[in-house]
Chain A
Amino acid sequence: METLERLLAAHPFFKDLRPEHLQVLVGCAANVRFEAGQYIFREGEEAKTFYLLRHGRVALEMAVPGRGSLTIQTIREGDVLGWAWLFPPHRWHFDARAVELVRAIAMDGQCLRDKCEQDHSLGYELVKRFAQVIVERLQATRLQLLDVYGHVPHR
């Protein structure tokens, strides 16, 4: 447990989290690993977990008719994977595939939601952090859609 707590505290996503909150979170955490090519979750499945990536790269993919599986983003160590566990209907929006060996801390979503209900200050802290991640991903997606490197020469 002690190692897990240290790993959690060291992950950028939980930077400066209050120690008592960290202790609560450890109860919902487990070490996991995924081999290269393995799917971590699939679009439409129930979202029960999220992952703090410690090592390796994960591709978020979407199956597009006629075009196969399209990678829309990659994330990696230091990033957090998955927020669908926090918001109804708790279903994954994408496929997540380990591009290489991935080590992560899996956080049990149901366990966390219960803890957040019991301790709203923990819930607020988590929602704030996830909102930040969502904002960053939205911003990155917008820039991707802008096709900023596309048309203008040089620049």
Chain B
Amino acid sequence: MSPTVEASPAPLWPLPCRLHARRRETRDTVTLELEAVGPGLGEFAPGQFNMLYVFGVGEVPISISGDPAHPGRLVHTVRMVGAVTRALGRLPRGGAVGVRGPFGTSWPLEEAAGSDVVVVAGGMGLAPLRPALYALLARRERFGRIVLLYGARTPGDLLYVTDLRRWRARMDLEVEVTVDAATDGWRGDVGVVTTLIPRARFEPASTVALVCGPEVMMRFVVRELQARGVPDGSIYLSMERNMHCGIGQCGHCQCGPFFVCRDGPVFPYRRIAPFFRLREL
């Protein structure tokens, strides 16, 4: 895994940005494209997150969901659940957002070179994995098979349908999508994401697995990957804990001896396994 990222230029001071574009993904999810008011947006690594600050409302950690090859426009996908995320979702074009980051560890794409890569996403978990997919495809020749297994609640909850359609059309990427509950007109698979793992084509012993989704989903995904023979050391998870400061000081996101904001959110499964079953603290 990539080492903890160096402190960003201004970890405690938000960079002024404004909303450039917004795309509705699902009933309760939007993708926001931000641009810096002045110069200042730096690079990020797939898997990292930013603290987004809505003035007068508050600040929340949100994964970066855009293409790392185009860091000038910051892309985040937000599910509107509470005060801050709803305010983000309602932001008018040109509206102000403060950005601190990028924070956290990233997906181990360097280590994955030469291996098969299996990306398993559940629900919103596809957001922090999308930059990894962009990066993998940008240097496609460096990897063996690449498989994306994505599960969502219903067809209407699928994120990035345009990307999914494009990825599906590629011959060098296997994309399997499944939903828990089909609606009229859905012609794809029905069932949880774990059911896709036994039938996906990859070489378990030389596979790196990148997993993000609800913790309960990740638990069962890990079990299926293990059953296929993927070594624990090759499984990486992105964890989520409520966090406030983003730099390992406030202690809100502690998970065993780790702070998710500083030591994660991407962890090798082997490292996090003993604490994986703990409920959110």
Q: B-contacting residues of A (Cβ < 8 Å)?
A: 57, 59, 68, 70-74, 76-79, 99, 136, 139-140, 143-144, 146-150, 152-155
Seed contacts A139-B194, A148-B217; 11 additional CB < 8 Å A-B pairs: A76-B199, A143-B194, A144-B192, A146-B216, A148-B192, A149-B217, A150-B153, A153-B79, A154-B127, A155-B124, A155-B213
- 3 closest Cβ pairs, A-B complex: A149-B123, A155-B214, A143-B192
The interface residues of chain B lying within 8 Å CB-to-CB of A150 are 123, 153
Beta-carbon contact of A144 and B191 below 8 Å: yes
The interface residues of chain A lying within 8 Å CB-to-CB of B180 are 144, 147, 149
Measured CB to CB, the closest approach of chain B to A93, in angstroms, equals: 16
> Closest residue of chain A to B192, judged by CB?
A143
Asked if B203 is at the interface (CB within 8 A of a chain A CB), the reply is no
Beta-carbon contact of B122 and A149 below 8 Å: yes
Beta-carbon contact of A143 and B217 below 8 Å: yes
Measured CB to CB, the closest approach of chain B to A104, in angstroms, equals: 15
Q: A-contacting residues of B (Cβ < 8 Å)?
A: 62-63, 79, 81, 85, 122-125, 127, 151-153, 157, 178, 180-182, 184, 186-192, 194-195, 198-199, 212-217, 220, 240
12 cross-chain CB contacts under 8 A: A71-B182, A72-B190, A74-B188, A76-B189, A140-B195, A143-B217, A144-B180, A147-B180, A148-B192, A149-B153, A153-B81, A155-B213
> Closest residue of chain A to B184, judged by CB?
A68
How far apart sit A146 and B151, CA to CA, in the bound complex (Å)? 14
Which of B79, B190, B199 is the one whose CB lies under 8 Å from A59? Answer: B190
> Closest residue of chain B to A60, judged by CB?
B190
> Closest residue of chain A to B81, judged by CB?
A153
How far apart sit A154 and B191, CA to CA, in the bound complex (Å)? 20
How far apart sit A77 and B212, CA to CA, in the bound complex (Å)? 27
